[in-house]
Structure 1
Amino acid sequence: MTDKPIAPTAPASADPAAISTVMIARQAILDDKRMVVGYELFDRSTVTGAHTASSDAALLFNALSYASSEALVGRKLVFINCTHESLQGPHLELIHPERVILKVRTLGPQATPEEIAQLLPVFNALRARGFRLAFNQEVLRRAYAAWLPLAAFIKLDLQAFKPELAEPLVRFARTYSMATLVAEKVETAEQHERMTALGLKMFQGYWFAQPTVVKAKTVGPSQAIVLQLINMVRKQASVAEIEELLKKDPTLSFNLLRFINSSGFGLSCEITSFRHAVMILGLKKLFRWAALLLTTSRSSATPPAVGQTAVVRGRLMELLAAELLPPEECDNAFVAGVFSLLDVMLGVSLEHAFESVALPQPVVDAVLHGTGVLAPILELTRACESGDEEAFARTAEALHLSSRQVNWAHLQALAWAEDMGGSD
């Protein structure tokens, strides 16, 4: 199976500095008639030659927003390797679940029953939104009995168990789950015949096709234009006003139309009208898309680490707010964290930066004035970055949070920010 490099035509006005290449490996998943029914995607942009689950969020956002996902996967199923942290990331709010299968790792042999049970609400919430979950054969272990009924797919790694165990594993999986079984890492005709005889109808492995690397050009709009879009959304501008902005900036509109027409969004017909795209996405999702776009858009004057720091702040504040404040404040907390570095990203004072974008009052109060419900959370977030133990202890205690709670949230935020590719 051979793939030609994919380079969708970029807008004529695109800044060459804002164009980069995403390297995505894909491996076909076939049915019993050897027809391709889906692909598993791996991010090869940063870790050449190694499959990794640590960059799935960046992969989703790039593949379904910047890059032409139609060229990557057509209308097939998409299996994405997920970390447990990224399953709770807001990028999934932007993805239609119809064709996206979230492949989730088990926690390893040292996991406690409590740690395993903690993920059940996350899985159930994803399933309620329409996502399907895939697990590997480790989910068949007794410790994961509660996960088993949630599996839409179970991938049996033929390199991970002896051939004589195939039949009991298949029988057990069919007895205790309704999952579709997929034989992966099929490398010989004998393995294929064995699993076919056991009734499996989905296969993946080198015997069919090795992963192929697909190159896709990504085009990032300027930060100023993204800020203008965010400004309009926060002011609840009319669809017509937002459409006018999109018409004026080919790069931004180029990305939006590719995103809305991607396989992951699950639409049955192609959207070619900016007005239609805005109406389908809605203001809330449009804002989230633009906010994440801002942290990944390029500026020659901005150090690469700034975007990632902004994403860490936003995610950490969102996680801490979830412990302390009503749900409606969590989005504001995310925005406050990300936009608290707007001065560094734009090279102007915060006061000047905030003049150019309409933001919720709690965000303005916290970032500009150090007041309001979000201010102590922002102070704690900055203390986490600085390594100031005294400030960390004081701010955590003021919020009645244990150091363990804050450290765990910080680790989750760091992992999520790495997934989002904030430093890209």
Structure 2
Amino acid sequence: MSSTPDQVTPEAEAPAPQEDVAASNLAIIARQAIVDQNRAVYGYELFDRSTAADSHTAASDAALLFNALSYAGTEALVGKKTVFINCTHDSLAGGHLELIHPEKVVLEVPPLPESATQEEIDQRVPALQALRQRGFRLALNQNALRKPYAAWMPLASFIKLDMQAFKPELAGPLVKFASTHSKATLIAEKVETAEQFKLMSDLGVKLFQGFWFATPSLVKATTLRPSQATIIQLINLVRKQAETSEIEELLKKDPTLSFNLLRFINSSGFGLSCEVTSFRHAVMILGLKKLFRWAALLMTTSRADGSPPAVGQTAVVRGRLMELLAAELLPPEECDNAFVVGVFSLLDAMLNVPIEKALESVALPQSVTDALLHGTGVFAPFLALTKACESGDDVMFAKMADELHLSNRQVNWAHLQALTWAENLSME
């Protein structure tokens, strides 16, 4: 991470490799949201993207934690949310923990190797107790539910249950056992389907991690409304007759706003003889007077809370990251389309309908629909790489970066900027 926070700005473009002096000092951090039952972000688990998964050490733990919590006061990366950090047992004894405020983080404590004796497991208890006494919260995984770890259980603030590691019929007994033997908050992780989410939610689990929100069960709700705060920003820009570029930037901040505008302006009721496929074109065609009327109408039909924040935030990060990656390899006019691909890649989740149906009501270039519907065309590898950054999939990350001839540093720098950009938007 750059040595001074102002070296990473929301509007900064990814620097060319030969000019990238600050980037060589970056602590490359990815994050995955932990959400509640309403899909609101509770916290973020952070990953060190500059270190291979099998090279996880006390030193890399220290670097990740220190940089994450010192960078811009964590505001640009995680806002005011709880931070979850994977730790080794060596790093739990590190002096770097003295540099941070315990209330800012949850330390994820791994089990010891299978070969560990009961004595070795019990010997770790005083160190864990000391961390708790200093104010740190500890997260254990489901291996800690085994009998040898009974002394660890009362120290846990969180217990993470891996949905890929047990059969559905074992969910009930696991939740009951964990709830009986600890006061920890349970987190269902690697939740990939709506059925898994419902199963754990019905059992009383309150927090979830994974991509469950990207594959929701189908419902009849097909409207998508931006937050009222964003609409008010748009109305204010129109009233002061802002430049088209300034209005375009606002549209990029909120995927629901841009989706509604493109859908409206391409509707049969608007009567255009050609399809509008970019935000700038839409603003210019509509004009300030009609844009004001449209925003005012949208204001009267919008919910106060907007769309689920975890989904909207992910969509904005995807869009910005794809825009930055495209800027490395594609002509400038294609960067806007790259942004649209990233932002609209979660329309199915935001609308609760299949992506094919979601795209029926909005006109998009063929290259965009090819990527979204078929995973083909010029933008497909960019979208795959973006999803790999998001999920921490190192294999896919390496494959797609190689296919696009992008270095890890280029991709990680762009990802950090996209996270920073999206987080700053949400704080405005």
Q: TM-score, normalised by structure 2?
A: 0.45
Greater helix fraction, Structure 1 or Structure 2 = 2
